[in-house]
Chains A and B, each alone.
Chain A
Amino acid sequence: MKISMSIAKKRIATVWFSFGGFLFIIMFIQTLGEHYGAKVNEAWSWFLPTIFPTLSLIIAVLISDAKEINNTQKYVDKFLFHLTMIVSIVYLLLIFLVIFIDPLSPNISNIELMKLSGLGLGPFQGIVIACLGVFFSKQGTQN
């Protein structure tokens, strides 16, 4: 079972840009509302590295694809696509959870929560980037 490489890439990019953009807007509104008080720097220092390296990778691949002269249709294994998609969504949901669970956790500050989540998110981000790397670097096969 295979799926068109360009469609797969677009779907993954859509997921990352929608979630990433939404979380960015949330963080921005929180910053304007002084939700993080004096530790706004720490909050952004946690958030930006969780999303932007992957977004940069996706943008680079999409630009590179757009420049490619040989536009022959390529296909990629559906399992690899689904795996990458699921890992990405779970990772983004975890980030989502860290931000949205904060008002419900009375005994821990938002910054502490972010730092604590880093222990799990860090290694998980490694898995996500590995999956995305493998997926995007696949040349695909012609059907």
Chain B
Amino acid sequence: MAPQAQIDAANVSIEAAKTAGADRYAPESFNAASEALKTALTAVEEQNSKFALFRNYDASKTTLASVATLSTKAVEETTAKKEALKAEVNQATVDLGAIIVADKELLAKAPKGKEGKAALEAIGQEIAVVETVNTEVTAGVANNEDILTLSDKIKPAVEKAKAINSELTDVIAKPKGYRNPISQTKKEDEAFLDQDSLEIADSIAASTMPHFPWPPPKASTTVKIPRNLIVKSNPNILLSEIAKQFESILGKAGYDQISYYYFPSGFAIVSQLEQINKDGTPKSEESRWNNKYEKPKVFNLESYIRALFTAQPGYFRVIAFIFTSKPFNQSDKTITKETGDFLIHAGSTVLPKKIFDIPFSSDYYCMALIYEFKQVTINDRPTLVDPSTVSGKTHLVNTKIWKELEK
């Protein structure tokens, strides 16, 4: 019998956690509980679909039991987070008050030239806005309003007040005509070579490009592409040049569609979802780019009998090439085939060249994350293959990407 009572109890505990605000204040624990419930329900469904004599709900029961524990943990974390945020917001209002006072003093000292007058008036208005936010947040804390919203409101205000402070300090300290080098168009055209510039380039990329999921979802298999296959004879190769090189390599391997994503300290190239055989070789051109499961073709008696009596799984694959200087771990979260398919549409079609005119120094490396999905029959949902029966390198060899890299 399906453990209906335990499912109901798990649903109740999840609802209680949600009511407490755990989905916003303790999303990791809440998501863990929700995921556990989903896993349990999938397992129950899977058992229900089996012949009655073969059903076994032990695993589902264990997972369902963990849902309550995780939900309780999420509620406890929520309470603690609310308290911590409250203290944080209180402190932020005090700090912001002090910065506003300092800003006002600096504003009074700032030189008022012909052009500067209007700018200083604008800054004065910005200080007034920040002050209003501070007053609203202080009142909100006193009225026990949602602390997360208040925290989200005060943080940009503090940043703004600090930016005004820094701007006014610069205006007072720097000679007339000085401008922030980063905002100058000429400078944007130059390669960013020092550490500060790399950070700035990273933040520009982060704000202009769609983000690859972080931390990256668990892949079926991975492979680190040797540096010599990327750099070849050009040790000063830039990341933007590597992107072009990969675009060409993937094109030659048949991938006409690729997407670019921002990845911390670098970028990611994601290939189109393709249908593959069990050994990682792509299916024939007519089937390869079909993102729906296809029944195996019947061409003789043996294939007919196999198709009549057995499950004929379909395999799908998405490859993400990560270029970064930052070490990373994969998360426990798994992605679905639909998400894998969506990645090709959600990314950027080109890499913003100027931002990535950065040398592919020895700190950088390229990691291919291979997401393989298996759909057992036309009646099943595709699931991530974990781990893949084919090595990461074999996947790339079988797609001819490796061969192109070696050229």
Contacts and interface: CB of A to CB of B under 8 A. Distances in A.
Interface residues on B, range: 20 to 34
Given A33-B309, A41-B48, A103-B304, A111 B379 contact: yes
Given A103-B298, A104-B298, A106-B297, A38 B379 contact: yes
A65 interface: no
Contacts of A29: 309
A42 B376 CA distance: 17
Interface in A98-128: 100, 102-106, 109-111
Nearest to A43: B379
Nearest to A102: B308
Interface residues on A, range: 20 to 34
A38 B295 contact: no
A34 B307 CA distance: 11
21 contacts: A34-B377, A35-B308, A35-B309, A35-B377, A36-B377, A37-B311, A37-B376, A37-B377, A37-B379, A38-B49, A38-B380, A40-B49, A40-B50, A42-B379, A103-B298, A103-B308, A104-B304, A105-B295, A106-B294, A109-B378, A109-B379
Interface string B178-221: 00000000000000000000000000000000000000000000
A45 to B, nearest CB: 12
Contacts of A100: 308
Chain A CB count within 10 A is highest, among B295, B304, B308, B310, for B308
A106 B295 contact: yes
A39 interface: yes
Interface in B285-338: 294-295, 297-298, 304, 307-311
Given A30-B309, A33-B311, A38 B378 contact: no
B309 A39 contact: no
Nearest to B296: A103
A31 interface: yes
B46 interface: yes
Nearest to A39: B379
Nearest to A34: B311
A82 B311 CA distance: 40
A30 B310 CA distance: 6
Contact of A37 (B48, B304, B308, B378): B378
Contacts of A37: 49, 311, 376-380
Contacts of B48: 41
A104 B307 CA distance: 9
B45 interface: yes
Chain A CB count within 10 A is highest, among B294, B297, B379, for B379
A1 B204 CA distance: 95
Nearest to B293: A109
Contacts of A42: 379
Interface in A25-55: 26, 29-31, 33-42
A105 B295 CA distance: 8
Contacts of B381: 38
A105 B307 CA distance: 11
Contacts of B294: 106
Contacts of B297: 106
A36 B379 contact: yes
A23 B93 CA distance: 77
**Among all A-B residue pairs, the 5 with the closest Cβ atoms:** A37-B377, A103-B307, A39-B379, A33-B310, A34-B311
Given A30-B309, A102-B308, 20 more contacts: A29-B309, A30-B308, A31-B51, A33-B309, A33-B310, A33-B311, A34-B311, A34-B377, A35-B310, A35-B377, A36-B377, A36-B379, A37-B378, A38-B45, A38-B46, A103-B298, A103-B304, A104-B298, A109-B378, A110-B379
A31 B380 CA distance: 14
A40 to B, nearest CB: 6
A130 B111 CA distance: 103
Nearest to A31: B51
